[in-house]
Amino acid sequence: MAEFKYSNIEKEMQAYGFDKVIKSHCRMCHGGCGTLIYIKNGVVKKIAGDPDCPINHGTLCSKGIASAQLAYHPDRLTYPVRRVGAKAGGKWERISWDEALDAIAERILNTKDKFGAESIVMGYGTGRENEAAIYRFANLLGTPNVLTAGHFCYGPRIATSIITCGTNPVVDYENDPKCIMLWGNNLVISNPDEYKGEPFSASLSKGAKLIVIDPRLTRAAARADIWLQLRPGTDTALAYGMLNVIVNEELYDKEFVANYVHGWEPFVRRINEYSPEKAARITWVPKNKIIDAARLYATTKPAGIQWGVAIEQQINCADNDRILMAMMGITGNLDVPGGQMLFRPPKINNVGTFGAHKMLAKEQAAIRLGGDRFRLAANFGIINPKCVWDAIIKEKPYAVKMLFLISTNPMLTRANAKKVREALEQIEFMVVSDFFLTPTAELADIVLPAATWLEMDYVGDFWKRHGYLLPRRKAIEIAECRSDHEMLNDLAHRVGQEEYWWDTFEGGLDYILEPMGITWQDFKKMDYIRGDVRYQKYKEKGFATPTGKLEIYSTLLEKWGYDPLPQFREPPESPYSTPELYNDYPYTLITGRRLPGFFHSENRQIPWLRELHKDPVVEIHPQSAQKEGIHEGDWVILESPRGKARQRAKFFEGMDPRVVSAEHAWWYPEKKDPDHGWDESNINILTDNSFANCDPAMGSTHVRTLLCKIYPAKK
């Protein structure tokens, strides 16, 4: 265990007369960097990176630095409110925490009594590390329905890796990978899990080879030894093309394949269906590049695949994840130094245990919404959003009567936003916990003021797969804001769950740490704790799968009635799958290009971050722009069969002219009416949420590629 130490701090304190500095752990995105929070007169004056943190080594991103502007934002909700009058009427009355929690508790108990616990859906977005507490509350309440981003973000990596190799394989940057394949990920400007951009960048500076798979020319693509500019949505076919080379040129690890792989022969048969020529035809990537990339990746060791959410928000979600795991495994890169590690956390009550999944009655788990349809997801407690909207609107297979949404803004971030809005207008009772009155919160009955990461104690990253735990230490308090964990701990006492919760949530932190024989007060004094790092554990114990092997051929998927091997499906809307639609909607639209400073729908009201991007921007190739009569900087309309959104055109030659690239989750906090411009630039008005547009096993909505038209907006 590392010592708690300061570095370069004393001079900083002297120069500015700060009263104190608190080491903490940022949570402005999906993973956390170590931070130093400088305080004067009780106010956060400066945020810097913690040089001793193994995740970021003192560097930060713009979001972390701007956190104080979030905490002290004048528009922040700082006390609970209850809606007065119609939904989206914008009229609220201040209530006390007791009034709020009593009203919510009463509603929960009545609804459970009348319609069953399953009629109450809990939900969170790309959470504030509140997921374990939310699952705990839901499971103890008896509802199997927790609506998260997990169907199409990170959840698939966890679910597919558990059934394929036991846990999520993470690139071992600390041992210098010699080759990195960046697949649908741009971790230097986005919000990556586990490690951040810093160690990746350092590996490249030390000379690692780089392969980038991306439809857009990013800086990483420009720096790459090989850039594969694929047709959006064809990742599985590209991976098969590369595997064809790796297998037929015998570049794989024969010893590993002979001893540790389940399903090699059928996999090779499937691989042989995808010659590099065929893969080239499907993916638009030249055959030679596919071959070169396959050779470079398979022969440069150790190698890591840095993957991201782009390949998960697709119909091929689970199979994309699984085929990449197959590639890591057969090239001998799984669980080796500098390769792709199956790290283990320290001995703790982990996120699954804390989530109290075992406390949910079997009969309740059996009626999880969409459970019979998306069986991989259901086995991991994950549901598809459309199942919830349908249950609200059509009351099928049963009625959902209450939503309890914590840090999520689904009107901006889930597919077919108009349908989402319709469901939120219809739901009988909705509670939201958030920092601001977002467009989603404006439809709630009660809104609770949530605390930022600066305002809470927590065991940071305890559910992540790099094996580290990092203390998040409370630095400030803002008015009546409360962390979601404290809020649920309190509410739990009001709905009869007190036996399973604590006097204060610090008891929950002690519970996480208890197996190590330490308390939160002990942990607070440390920099971090890491689980033991051991390599090639499979040699002694096998992989933690039913066969004990790397299950390229998944026995569990087979049992659940799915293709046990990764399968390529053509995107549901594309020039090839829907040629007639393509006549009217002649561009492939990709959505969700990441922007430094924003985290999905968050941060548009933070001055330093909004200054980085004033307006939503759609990138279009100048050739296509000319064809459509679009000038650089114009407002343009993007349209799909579901609806329209407007963004500003930016010319970008680093993309195939047949592709346009829009930004996601835009709303306008500066518009003070209760709509906040939610339907003006919202790309999810265009995306499709039909079940046919979802991964059949994971239920992930294919929001990343669709067909659109694009034309100048009328002045």
Site for another protein, rule CB under 8 A: 11-12, 14-15, 46-49, 51, 56-62, 65-66, 188-189, 196-198, 201-202, 205, 217-222, 227, 596-597, 607-609, 611-612, 652-654
SS3 (DSSP) at 648? strand
Instruction: Give the nearest distance from C-beta 72 to another protein in angstroms.
Output: 13
Instruction: Give the nearest distance from C-beta 229 to another protein in angstroms.
Output: 9
Instruction: Give the nearest distance from C-beta 48 to another protein in angstroms.
Output: 7
Instruction: Please say whether the beta carbons of 475 and 469 come within 8 A.
Output: no
Q: Which is nearer to another protein, 67 or 111 (CB)?
A: 67
Instruction: Give the nearest distance from C-beta 533 to another protein in angstroms.
Output: 23
Q: Which is nearer to another protein, 38 or 635 (CB)?
A: 38
Q: Which is nearer to another protein, 12 or 563 (CB)?
A: 12
Q: How far is CA 328 from the centre of its chain?
A: 22
Instruction: Give the nearest distance from C-beta 53 to another protein in angstroms.
Output: 11
Angstrom CA distances, 630 to 585, 618, 627, 711, stand at: 16, 12, 8, 7
Q: Which is nearer to another protein, 60 or 509 (CB)?
A: 60
Q: Which is nearer to another protein, 604 or 642 (CB)?
A: 604
User: What is the identity of the amino acid at 565?
Assistant: L
Q: Which is nearer to another protein, 15 or 692 (CB)?
A: 15
Q: Which is nearer to another protein, 60 or 391 (CB)?
A: 60
* H/E element, 701: none
**Phi/psi zone of residue 227: left (φ > 0), alpha (ψ -120 to 50 degrees), beta?**
beta
- Cα(281)–Cα(382) distance, integer angstroms: 35
Instruction: Give the nearest distance from C-beta 212 to another protein in angstroms.
Output: 11
Instruction: Give the nearest distance from C-beta 600 to another protein in angstroms.
Output: 17
Q: Which is nearer to another protein, 136 or 216 (CB)?
A: 216
Kindly report each contact of residues 221-229 with a partner whose C-beta sits within 8 Å and lies 24 or more positions away, as own/partner.
Answer: 221/654, 224/182, 225/296, 226/289, 226/292, 226/293, 226/296, 228/283, 228/285, 228/289, 228/290, 228/293, 229/284, 229/285, 229/656
Instruction: Give the nearest distance from C-beta 66 to another protein in angstroms.
Output: 6
Q: Which is nearer to another protein, 65 or 645 (CB)?
A: 65
Q: Which of 143, 90, 155 is nearest to 351 (CA)?
A: 155
Neighbours of 366 (CB within 10 A): 11
Residues facing residue 708 across a β-bridge: 587
- Cα(575)–Cα(386) distance, integer angstroms: 26
| Torsion sign, CA atoms 567, 571, 572, 574 | negative
Instruction: Give the nearest distance from C-beta 26 to another protein in angstroms.
Output: 12
Instruction: Give the nearest distance from C-beta 7 to another protein in angstroms.
Output: 10
Cα angle 412, 134, 525 (rounded to 5 degrees) comes to 110
Q: Which is nearer to another protein, 20 or 219 (CB)?
A: 219
Instruction: Give the nearest distance from C-beta 230 to another protein in angstroms.
Output: 15
Instruction: Please say whether the beta carbons of 296 and 209 come within 8 A.
Output: yes
Beta strands 587-591 and 705-712: pairing type? antiparallel
**Which residues, 6+ apart, have CB-to-CB distance to 323 below 8 Å?**
236, 239, 240, 243, 566
Residue entry with tokens 């001893």: 259
- Cα(310)–Cα(322) distance, integer angstroms: 14
Q: Which is nearer to another protein, 368 or 594 (CB)?
A: 594
Instruction: Please say whether the beta carbons of 123 and 148 come within 8 A.
Output: yes
- Cα(53)–Cα(254) distance, integer angstroms: 38
- For every residue of 282-317, DSSP letters joined together read HH---HHHHHHHHHHHHHSSSEEEEE-GGGTSSTTH
- Cα(667)–Cα(316) distance, integer angstroms: 29
Instruction: Give the nearest distance from C-beta 222 to another protein in angstroms.
Output: 4
Instruction: Give the nearest distance from C-beta 307 to another protein in angstroms.
Output: 18
Q: Which is nearer to another protein, 109 or 217 (CB)?
A: 217
Q: What is the CA radius of gyration of the chain?
A: 25
Instruction: Give the nearest distance from C-beta 547 to another protein in angstroms.
Output: 40
Q: Which is nearer to another protein, 60 or 706 (CB)?
A: 60
Q: Which is nearer to another protein, 57 or 357 (CB)?
A: 57
Q: Which of 336, 137, 297 is nearest to 211 (CA)?
A: 297
Instruction: Give the nearest distance from C-beta 345 to another protein in angstroms.
Output: 25
Instruction: Give the nearest distance from C-beta 59 to another protein in angstroms.
Output: 4
| Torsion sign, CA atoms 608, 611, 615, 619 | negative
- Cα(688)–Cα(692) distance, integer angstroms: 9
Q: Which is nearer to another protein, 61 or 392 (CB)?
A: 61
Q: Which is nearer to another protein, 105 or 189 (CB)?
A: 189
Calculate helix-pair angle for 235-248, 276-283, nearest 10 degrees: 160
Q: How far is CA 677 from the centre of its chain?
A: 24
Max CA pair span of the chain: 70
